[in-house]
Amino acid sequence: MLVPIFTLKIKHKIHPRMVTVGKYDGLHPCLTCGTTASKVFVHNPHSPAIAGGRVAVQDSDISMLTMNQSVSALCAGQLDPSNDRDVLCIGTQTNLLAYDVHDNKDLFYKEVPDGVNNIVMGKISSVDVPLVIAGGNCTLQGFDHEGEDRFWTVTGDIVSSLALVDFTNDGHNELLVGSEDFDIRVFQGDDIISEMTETEAVTGLYSISGSRFGYALANGTIGVYDRSARYWRIKSKNQVMAIHSFDLDGDGVPELITGWSNGKIDVRSNSTGEVMFKDNMTSAVAGIVDADYRLDGKNQLICCSVDGEVRGYQTDKSRLLAVDANRSNDNMRDLNLTKQNLLLELRNYEREQGPMKKEQFTPMERVEGGVIPASTTIATELVIEEKENPCIELVVSTNNNDTVVRMVVIYAEALYEGESHVTHPPANTLSNKIRVPIFPPKDSAIELHIQAFVSLPGSMNFHVFEVTNHLPSFSAYLYQQSVPQIPESCVSFTLNERVPRVGIWMTENFILRHEIPCEESIDAHFIALRGGDLVFKMDSSGQVQIHTDNIDLAGDLIQSLASFLRLDHLQVTAHFPLHLDKLNSIMSTVNGLQSVTQKLAAEMTDHSNLIRSLVIRAEDARLQGDISNMKKGYIEVQDLNRDLVNGYKVRSANHQELVTSMKLVNQIIQKASHLRVGKYKAQLVTQCRDAIKTNKHSALFKIIQSGSA
């Protein structure tokens, strides 16, 4: 059990994930949280400056900041390199404000049309000053302290978490981006250097130490990665509200702290994931930060709940002893358990061996005892079933006819919802073979962990075989002699590689029944399980053409091929008429929407000014006791307000449409960049950005097609 060293009750609600701490005067940390009515409060118990003059109020250690728009992200940190005071960055759905709390002034107030879902502050390797990086709908935007746009790139979906981690252990931070398409992408400058696919939207990322970082998913999973290798993960039925890392037991190794929606806080070892300490708050955890809140030179871990309860925990070396004691007890118990299991197993073997020496079993006895022939093995195979509904089937079979496969359990991440799948056919259809249909939802390589339960027919005791099989990345494409119509869209590029090497790549990444001819050239046709056709052509000069209407697939193929052939850079010509048409129509709607937005905004302010004056007049009438005039005034206010609400609805629909359109544009840019490898990828993104900034639509199309302006 964790005992807090201080607890506070703040009389304000705290919005989840909107907790940060900043030293706005350069010395005293102030807890800063988003609260109801689009406000942000700053808790400042230390600085005497707040009292004095006329400002002193009863509740003097809380000061309120108004944003006028609902706050969507908060972060405090150093931004101005010439100043050691922290800056508070507040993100809303349309704007980003960098605010100097100490001096009550803005550093900048920027329009961010893609919205701000997450903010992180710090240095990244490609820019030499600290940046505030805002993640919105598919975009990442970095500003320096003057509000200059210093960094811009796109990502696959809505950004749901951000962190700065020294992923490559080179002393410079890389930007980790978790998004709603389940990916964690690692940006070094503008390049994506690594990509990890998870099973749900990534809602939390936090640097632990070095290249190690913790993550949290929307389905209640938390875990730790070191670079792109996962150390551990656990799943809970509760929602993860916040993750943080802090060295609570003073052993020099930070632990992963998790705050849950049921108010639980648990502290896990970052290397094993085992729970070391836990505590419970009365309501859901809103955020976890660390700061020297008692001004004693040591940082405390500060946990906030949504009801405004704040608890601080201190690093304490004595905890280490408790953990050690616990650990030795645990070890003892584990060893005892293993011993028990081994003894049980040994007894089983003895029983099996014993009678064998004396006499053969009767078949009846064998069934009851669940004894299967010792030579039984299990085989798994992926086959493509070409019925009217083509699909992949996993065939699990034994090598003899005496036994039956009673049940198959498959564990595979991202393949099934809930990550596992159980097949147990009715008793009358049992055979030595089970066929499990598989529909891969995504084009990614998947490890299948298969448990097959094997027994003699009628037996109640089963032997469990554990095997693994590998589902290649592009298993959902079935090889055909030819497809009826070659898709119009295609990408083409040139490889300096022999054709057979590409042939090897194909065999590794597709399920092929036969070797495809690949001496001189490749001409492979596939139909996709999820619809659409794919044609892959390569001639002896190294010219490659991939025909598909699915731009994501083309990108995945190119990325996979590039990593297999270890290509650093690859420029690609893309021809996607459908996508370009769509882009064209989106761009024209965006232009229309933007001009309307301005007009609507002016109209609304005009209305709201009018309402204000009407309210004042009505109040004036009230104070003079002129009730009939007051009534008149308020009726007018009501009418005007109705107009205003209608105007708001129009404007909000307009804005929503704009956001969606912008998101689609960003997604198309991201997909186009995914078609390129290495420096061309980054180049495409920057050039597209410039084209959009300067409103040159034709240039945008050209960049997407040829990869450069």
Partner 1 sequence: SMDPMFMALSCFRRRKFEESTELCSKILEKNPYDQVIGYQINNVIPHPPQAAWALKARSLTEQVYIDEVEAEEQGIAESVMDDSSVAQISRPGTSLRVATGSSGPSPAVRPVSQSGRPLSGFVRPGTQAGRPGTMEQALKTPRTSHTARPVTSASGRYVRMGTASMLSNPDGPFINVSRLNYSKYAARPHLAKVLFEYIFHHENDVRNALELAAQATEQAKYKDWWWKVQLGKCYHRLGMYRDAERQYKSALKQQVMVDTLLLLGKVYQRIDQPLQAIDTYKVGLERFPDDRSLLVATARVHDEMGEMDTATKWYKDVLEEEGVNVEAVASIAANYFYTDQPEISIRLYRRLLQMGIHNVELFNNLGLCCFYAQQYDMTMVCFDRAISLAEDEQLADVWYNISHVALGVGDNNLAYQCLRLAITSNINHTEAYNNLAVLELRRGDVERAKSLLRSAAELAPHAYEHHFNLATLAESAGDLQNYSSILQSVAAFPQHMDSKNILQKLKQHFESL
> In the complex, what is the shortest distance from the CB of residue 122 to partner 1, in angstroms, rounded to a whole number?
24
> d(Cα 460, Cα 453) in Å, to the nearest integer?
11
Asked whether position 333 contacts partner 1 by CB under 8 A, the answer is no
Measured from the CB atom, the residue of 375 and 595 that comes closer to partner 1 is 595
Interaction pattern, residues 622-641, with partner 1; x per rule: CB under 8 A: -x------------------
Measured from the CB atom, the residue of 99 and 213 that comes closer to partner 1 is 99
Measured from the CB atom, the residue of 75 and 529 that comes closer to partner 1 is 75
**Cβ neighbours around 411 below 10 Å, total:** 16
Cβ proximity of 282 and 263 under 8 Å: yes
Measured from the CB atom, the residue of 335 and 616 that comes closer to partner 1 is 616
Q: Which of 280, 274, 205 is nearest to 244 (CA)?
A: 205
Asked whether position 226 contacts partner 1 by CB under 8 A, the answer is no
> d(Cα 303, Cα 330) in Å, to the nearest integer?
29
For 243, residues 6+ apart whose C-beta sits below 8 A from its C-beta are: 204, 205, 206, 214, 215, 216, 222, 256, 257, 258, 259, 288
Q: Which residue has the tokens 């309120």?
A: 64
> In the complex, what is the shortest distance from the CB of residue 65 to partner 1, in angstroms, rounded to a whole number?
5
Distance from chain centroid for Cα 163: 11
Q: Contacting partner 1 (CB under 8 A), which of 58, 66, 360, 496?
A: 66
- Which range, of 60-68, 169-177, 212-220, 684-692, touches partner 1 by CB under 8 A? 60-68
Cβ proximity of 585 and 639 under 8 Å: no
Q: 212-217 and 202-209: which strand pairing? A: antiparallel
Asked whether position 50 contacts partner 1 by CB under 8 A, the answer is yes
Q: Contacting partner 1 (CB under 8 A), which of 3, 27, 55, 464?
A: 55
Name which of residues 133 to 192 contact partner 1 (CB under 8 A): none
Cβ proximity of 177 and 155 under 8 Å: yes
Helix residue ranges per DSSP H, 390-478: none
- Which range, of 99-107, 152-160, 402-410, 545-553, touches partner 1 by CB under 8 A? 99-107
Measured from the CB atom, the residue of 102 and 525 that comes closer to partner 1 is 102
CA 628 vs CA 616, 637, 640: distances in Å: 15, 14, 18
**Beta strand ranges found along 364-440 (DSSP E):** 378-385, 391-398, 404-411, 420-423, 433-438
Q: Contacting partner 1 (CB under 8 A), which of 9, 54, 317, 566?
A: 54
Q: 229-235 and 221-226: which strand pairing? A: antiparallel
Asked whether position 620 contacts partner 1 by CB under 8 A, the answer is yes
Q: Contacting partner 1 (CB under 8 A), which of 15, 16, 29, 99?
A: 99
Interaction pattern, residues 100-129, with partner 1; x per rule: CB under 8 A: -xxxxxx--x-x------------------
Q: Contacting partner 1 (CB under 8 A), which of 1, 9, 11, 53?
A: 53
Asked whether position 645 contacts partner 1 by CB under 8 A, the answer is no
Q: Contacting partner 1 (CB under 8 A), which of 18, 21, 65, 495?
A: 65
> d(Cα 518, Cα 539) in Å, to the nearest integer?
10
Cβ proximity of 505 and 561 under 8 Å: yes
> In the complex, what is the shortest distance from the CB of residue 130 to partner 1, in angstroms, rounded to a whole number?
20
Measured from the CB atom, the residue of 97 and 304 that comes closer to partner 1 is 97
Asked whether position 68 contacts partner 1 by CB under 8 A, the answer is yes
Asked whether position 58 contacts partner 1 by CB under 8 A, the answer is no
Measured from the CB atom, the residue of 84 and 417 that comes closer to partner 1 is 84
Q: Tell me the site size for partner 1, rule CB under 8 A.
A: 43
Measured from the CB atom, the residue of 486 and 604 that comes closer to partner 1 is 604
Measured from the CB atom, the residue of 97 and 544 that comes closer to partner 1 is 97
Measured from the CB atom, the residue of 511 and 610 that comes closer to partner 1 is 610
> In the complex, what is the shortest distance from the CB of residue 652 to partner 1, in angstroms, rounded to a whole number?
17
Q: Contacting partner 1 (CB under 8 A), which of 33, 67, 71, 669?
A: 67
Q: Quick one: tokens of 133?
A: 């990086």
Measured from the CB atom, the residue of 150 and 233 that comes closer to partner 1 is 150
* Half-sphere exposure in the Cβ direction for 362 (13 Å, CA): 3
User: What's the one-letter identity of residue 612?
Assistant: R
Q: Quick one: tokens of 265?
A: 């806080």
Cβ proximity of 248 and 188 under 8 Å: no
User: In sequence order, what are the beta bridge partners of 544?
Assistant: 493, 538
Q: Contacting partner 1 (CB under 8 A), which of 3, 5, 49, 335?
A: 49
For 248, residues 6+ apart whose C-beta sits below 8 A from its C-beta are: 2, 255, 257, 267, 276, 277, 301, 313, 315, 316, 319
**Beta strand ranges found along 189-319 (DSSP E):** 191-197, 202-209, 212-217, 221-226, 229-235, 240-246, 255-260, 264-268, 275-280, 285-291, 300-305, 309-314
- Which range, of 7-15, 94-102, 190-198, 496-504, touches partner 1 by CB under 8 A? 94-102
> In the complex, what is the shortest distance from the CB of residue 309 to partner 1, in angstroms, rounded to a whole number?
23
- Which range, of 46-54, 71-79, 129-137, 516-524, touches partner 1 by CB under 8 A? 46-54
Interaction pattern, residues 589-618, with partner 1; x per rule: CB under 8 A: ---------xx-xxx-xx-xxx-xx-xxx-
Q: Contacting partner 1 (CB under 8 A), which of 3, 5, 27, 64?
A: 64
For 289, residues 6+ apart whose C-beta sits below 8 A from its C-beta are: 19, 20, 21, 31, 244, 302, 304
User: In sequence order, what are the beta bridge partners of 154?
Assistant: 139
Q: What does the binding site for partner 1 look like in residue numbers (CB under 8 A)?
A: 49-50, 52-57, 63-68, 95, 97, 99, 101-106, 109, 111, 598-599, 601-603, 605-606, 608-610, 612-613, 615-617, 619-620, 623
